[in-house]
Structure 1
Amino acid sequence: MSAAVTDVYAPGTLQEAVDRVLRVPDRHRTFTKDAAFAQETWAIGPALLEALLDHGLPHRGPAERRRFERTDLHNVSTWLNLPSPYFRALARKARALDAAARTGEPHRHELELRADCAEPGHAGECAFVPVPGAADHSEPGSLRETSAGAFAVRARLPSDSRVFDEDRSDLLSLVADWELYVLPDGVIEDEGFARETRLANCLIPTRLLLREAERRGIRARHGAGLLVAPPFGTLHHWVEFALDGAWVPADPVLLTAFSRWGMTDPAHWPYNRSVAGIVWHLLTWPPEVFFPVVRDRGLQAPLHVSVR
């Protein structure tokens, strides 16, 4: 291991990062990404990658042609707080959440939804249509198509940052110690895996909390839409509680992650505080992990969301 790597990371840190990804069984890995992808996308440079390999990072192939599982690289990079575009974007979202709460004013964002053809090579023209929630939950009249497949819209996100009462807090505590994790396809909806490893995406704990809320007589619903903060938005799932005539969003796994990554102060942002201010509700009870925001001739269209 190079001196530069040992100067940066405390003993055991890299082993913790690798041990974490090894909780995922190897049968769920597809080794398709190379060292260039690790560096360019996830800020894992050659020296660090070699150190991770020394600690058992899964891979296939000889040194000059090594291949890695994309989610392993993603999760190692995030665990080590490396300055990837993804990690920097998450930090912006955490800052936006805190800023919305401190000002007490709603956050307004200009978004561009840019969709690609859902089925390249099809006959006829594409027909792009945003989900109804894009108009229903935006500033009235702001949604407009600016070019084929591109839509501009203004989202108004409230600053409600209440700490939930004892009953709801007790419910949220069921998953508060789970770690936000990008799961490979084989376990992307596997609640048993998440319970055993405490690794979960945003969908699995949402479904668990909704089922338990129903059992406890707490009125809740499944919220889905976007995590919103410049420079872009990402698909997300969370739980919402009916309180005082409104639906108030909660996401204990996300808040725990922000705290672990040093993005928020856990004293100010405990797991049982609302995440209003960064979530834009577009759909309720979506059945899919990757739900549609824009459809093309009825099919889910690949989407990029820019935010300012």
Structure 2
Amino acid sequence: MSAPVTEVHAPDTLQEAVDRVLRVPDRHRTFAKDAAFAQQTWAIGPALLEALLDHGLPHRGEGEARRFERTDLHNISTYLNLPSPYFQALSRKAQALDEVARKGERHIHELQLRVECARTGHTGECAFTPIAGLDRYSEPGSMRETSPGLFTVRAQLPSNRLLFDEDRSDLLSLVADWELYVLPDGVIEDEGFSRETRLANCLIPTRLLLREAERRGIRARHGAGLLVAPPFTTLHHWVEFELDGDWVPADPVLLTAFARWGMTDPADWPYNRSVAGIVWHLLTWPPEVFFPVVRDRGGQAPVHIASR
């Protein structure tokens, strides 16, 4: 028998979780997900869902017809450290970051990309083309298509224990207290929203830091690619600084989130430490928020990426 919700999550904690999502204006909610989705995808069971509703969780409808905004459920689940596949994947990424740094050596990950047809913009058979970075930044000769729509590649990820200098650390501190958050589409590129609420995805603080780096005369670039930690790999944005001819990645919002969720020791992983070891650079200055990894006759093809 499971413990009552109040024994697992204090009322104040539940209220904080709901208040956090209420920073997002209601006009950005679509209310398309049901209670079954909340439980199966985000580990929010019926008792916890009712408790969240008592604390003001936005919804539409009543009873079995109740519907919720998917990003609200996602962010509440993460805030409460619920054992969703997403949270477990984040924990694995933090663990991988720490493991790579402690070993002090390059890590090789084999990635499998399963691509789906873009389905719009062309007729005839699909013609899948991985972006150039997958081959350029991988282990030489490892990029191959093993069957139509199935690619494998070996990623080489470096490791270091680098803490950025005072000037770069001061720059990174501008967003170090922002909370990593899955934003709904209406504010996904809205820097004003993130400045006001301190809630941000990986893209918005990256753009802010790059603009401020240019103003301060610090050489930086926009890194985009994959956040790699077996078995899950996801698209990601971060800032990179040029140091002695190398580009070194930084991601203060991600490191602060790992520490906040108890996944890393903030003494070992402060916001101004490099995240080399889990980010794989594929693109510089990507034009799209959700940049393509594989194209299908010019269109962006859906892709599922597994790693080991």
- Asked if Structure 1 and Structure 2 have the same fold, meaning a TM-score greater than 0.5 normalized by the shorter chain, the answer is yes
2:171 is aligned with what amino acid?
Answer: L
1:147 is aligned with what amino acid?
Answer: S
1:96 is aligned with what amino acid?
Answer: A
Counterpart of 1:237 in 2: which secondary structure?
Answer: strand
Deviation at 1:122, TM superposition (A): 4.7
Moved over 4 A (4+): none
Deviation at 1:123, TM superposition (A): 2.1
1:244 lines up with 2:244 in the alignment: yes
Cα distance in 2 for residues equivalent to 1:293 and 1:271: 28
1:219 lines up with 2:252 in the alignment: no
- Which residues in structure 2 correspond to 1:104-143 (within 5 Å)? 104-119=104-119, 122-143=122-143
For 1:259, the equivalent position in structure 2 comes to 259
Deviation at 1:62, TM superposition (A): 1.1
For 2:166, the equivalent position in structure 1 comes to 166
For 1:84, the equivalent position in structure 2 comes to 84
Cα distance in 2 for residues equivalent to 1:146 and 1:281: 23
Residues 130-179 of structure 1: CA distance to partner in whole angstroms, max 9, x if unpaired? Answer: 10000111000000001111110000100023000000000000000000
Cα distance in 1 for residues equivalent to 2:122 and 2:286: 27
Deviation at 1:128, TM superposition (A): 0.3
Greater mean alpha carbon deviation, residues 190-199 or residues 144-153: 144-153
Counterpart of 1:224 in 2: which secondary structure?
Answer: strand
Deviation at 1:207, TM superposition (A): 0.2
Superposition CA RMSD, Å: 1.1
1:273 lines up with 2:276 in the alignment: no
- Which residues in structure 2 correspond to 1:89-100 (within 5 Å)? 89-100=89-100
> Does the C-alpha gap of structure 1 residues 214 and 120 become closer, same or farther in structure 2, counting only changes over 3 Å?
closer
1:260 is aligned with what amino acid?
Answer: R
1:216 is aligned with what amino acid?
Answer: R
For 1:210, the equivalent position in structure 2 comes to 210
Residues 246-301 of structure 1: CA distance to partner in whole angstroms, max 9, x if unpaired? Answer: 10000000000000000000000000000000000010000211000000001111
Cα distance in 1 for residues equivalent to 2:3 and 2:111: 44
For 1:25, the equivalent position in structure 2 comes to 25
Cα distance in 1 for residues equivalent to 2:19 and 2:161: 35
> Does the C-alpha gap of structure 1 residues 121 and 299 become closer, same or farther in structure 2, counting only changes over 3 Å?
closer
How many residues in Structure 1 have an aligned counterpart in Structure 2?
307
For 1:5, the equivalent position in structure 2 comes to 5
Contact 2:43/2:84 (<8 A) preserved: yes
Counterpart of 1:30 in 2: which secondary structure?
Answer: coil
Counterpart of 1:33 in 2: which secondary structure?
Answer: coil
Cα distance in 2 for residues equivalent to 1:121 and 1:44: 39
Cα distance in 2 for residues equivalent to 1:190 and 1:24: 12
Counterpart of 2:193 in 1: which secondary structure?
Answer: helix
Cα distance in 1 for residues equivalent to 2:237 and 2:122: 31
> Does the C-alpha gap of structure 1 residues 164 and 121 become closer, same or farther in structure 2, counting only changes over 3 Å?
closer
Cα distance in 1 for residues equivalent to 2:74 and 2:247: 32
Unaligned runs of 5+ in 1: none
For 1:47, the equivalent position in structure 2 comes to 47
1:285 lines up with 2:285 in the alignment: yes
TM-score calculated relative to the size of structure 1: 0.98
2:29 is aligned with what amino acid?
Answer: R
For 1:303, the equivalent position in structure 2 comes to 303
TM-score calculated relative to the size of structure 2: 0.98
For 1:183, the equivalent position in structure 2 comes to 183
Cα distance in 2 for residues equivalent to 1:84 and 1:161: 30
Unaligned runs of 5+ in 2: none
Contact 2:210/2:222 (<8 A) preserved: yes
Cα distance in 1 for residues equivalent to 2:259 and 2:287: 29
Deviation at 1:121, TM superposition (A): 9.4
Deviation at 1:55, TM superposition (A): 0.2
Deviation at 1:232, TM superposition (A): 1.6
